Amino acid sequence: MARCGIATGIGCFLVGVGVGGAVAVLLAPRSGEQTRKLIAKKAEEGKAYVASRGREIKDQAEDLVDKGKDLVNKQREKLADVIGAGKEAARNTLSMV
């Protein structure tokens, strides 16, 4: 079995994209101007989708960071309470001795 490197695979993919694009242009049912408008429209829709998803992901990440900060603060408070209780217990024990 022949082994192909990543560069070879990428090269084959790019050749396929080029051939597919050429065939699509030759067999397209629309004029060049209509095809360019369609491509521009789809590109704009793709751009809007990516921007929208980016904002959603950013908002989700901010929510997760906020939840993480809250959790850390709660754990810090619990730890401070436990340390305070331990110090108090140590003082009580030492005062009894």
Residues 50-69: tens digit of each pLDDT: 999 999 999 999 999 999 99
Domain ranges of the chain: 1-30, 32-96
For residue 2, pLDDT beyond 70: no
Q: What is the pLDDT of residue 1?
A: 45
Q: For residues 29 and 48, give the distance between their C-alpha atoms in angstroms, rounded to a whole number.
A: 27
User: Mean pLDDT score of the chain, rounded to an integer?
Assistant: 85
Rg of the chain's alpha carbons, rounded to an integer? 31
pLDDT-based confidence at 97, cuts 50/70/90? Answer: low
Quote the pTM value.
0.50
The alpha carbon of residue 22 and the mean position of all alpha carbons in its chain are separated, in whole angstroms, by: 34
**Distances, alpha carbon 59 to alpha carbons 25, 65, 78, 83, in Å:** 40, 10, 29, 36
